[in-house]
Amino acid sequence: MKTSFALTFLFTALLLSSCGLKSDVKVLKLGHTLDTKHSVHIAMEYMAERVEEISEGKLRVEVYPGGVLGTERESLELLQLGSLDLTKVSAAAMEGFVEEYKVFGLPYIFTSKEHAYSVLDGPIGKSMLAKGEQFWLRGLCFYDAGARSFYTAKPIHTPADLAGLKIRVMQSITAVEMIRAMGGSPTPISWGELYTALQSGVVDGAENNPPSFYLSHHYEVSGNYTLNEHTMIPDVMIMSTHAWGKLNDQEKAWLQQAVEESVGVQRKEWQKSEEASLAALAEEGVNIIVPDKQPFIDAVQGVYNIYRDNERVYDLIQDIRNANPPQAEALETSTEDLENLTEQ
């Protein structure tokens, strides 16, 4: 029913937007589930402006935020049908289509933000973006979605503190095994139901990045935030291969240039939103804990054994581990800065 509504909405939008346009102008529809204040939406709007500027109006991208065209899963299905041109999803949502995307959900697969950037921007990332084409899903770029950390009613300083706690996780085998390895009880619950579940004690905690924790108001019912940063699952912009195939070489170049420029914009916006969220959480009285990460890293090493017999995924794990990240200390909020927040 939701997909039918999205198709009707999209068809109507196509009719309305076509009025008054010249026949040589191509319009691409981009739908996503985020708020207009989110760093990814800001980057997409920048990308749309750059596409129109670079192409001198011959190629346009229209952005539809807030899930008006469907959920992440529904948007991917619309791309496969050729009924939608572009969308943004979490890399976790691509696991159901491309097995190798499971690697992004592994705990501490990235040792730092600069390590993640070097992988996503390099040959490994470019190879990953192409892997969905057989499913009519062409990746264009990765966006930063930060690091996920635990928030709970009781303070978490070490994995031992998670023993017996029910922790909300996404529908992911890797996420479930990660929580079990740390001693917690993984409990899959939809994002929309999580606030009530935390408030009523159905779950004892959850895990997400700072902006999501703050903007969801989950801090109102989970007063402790432990910055153990166990996963860095990126967002990915996906284009329908049906739409990509309708572009000529010049139009493809225009779009790819604008997309790549938007990545830098998004990363800067994300960094600002992350720092602002941590500061706001501290002001709200949230207990921000900066733990020693090594016990968490040690606790989850067994999770990698899930893929030991999966040659494609396990080889990719080794490739990522062997990637040499450049030095870019300014990209991350320093431990000293985070500790200062806890004193405010």
151-205 pLDDT per residue, tens: 999 999 999 999 999 999 987 888 899 999 999 999 998 888 999 999 999 999 9
Domain identity same for 58 and 75: yes
More confident residue, 36 or 125: 125
Max Cα distance, the chain (Å): 64
DSSP state of 326: P
- Give yes or no for a contact between 281 and 288, defined as CB atoms under 8 angstroms apart: yes
What does the mean pLDDT of the chain come to? 89
- Give yes or no for a contact between 5 and 67, defined as CB atoms under 8 angstroms apart: no
**Residue 333's pLDDT is what?**
42
- Give yes or no for a contact between 79 and 137, defined as CB atoms under 8 angstroms apart: yes
Domain identity same for 334 and 216: yes
d(CA 37, CA 66): 10
Domain identity same for 287 and 303: yes
Q: pLDDT-based confidence at 332, cuts 50/70/90? A: very low
Which among 257, 255, 259 is positioned nearest to 245, based on CA atoms? 255
What is the total count of domains within the chain? Answer: 2
- Strand ranges for 77-171 from DSSP E: 86-90, 137-143, 148-152, 166-169
Neighbours of 4 (CB within 10 A): 8
Mean pLDDT across the stretch 139-161? 97
Q: Which domain holds residue 121?
A: 2-144+233-271
3-state helix, strand, coil in the chain (%, to 5): 55, 15, 30
Domain identity same for 136 and 183: no
Domain identity same for 92 and 130: yes
CATH of the domain at 82: 3.40.190.170
Q: pLDDT-based confidence at 23, cuts 50/70/90? A: low
Among 5-19, 85-99, 278-292, 330-344, which is the least confidently predicted range? 330-344
Percent of the chain topping pLDDT 70: 87
Among 11-15, 92-96, 188-192, 285-289, which is the least confidently predicted range? 11-15
Strand partners, 148: 231
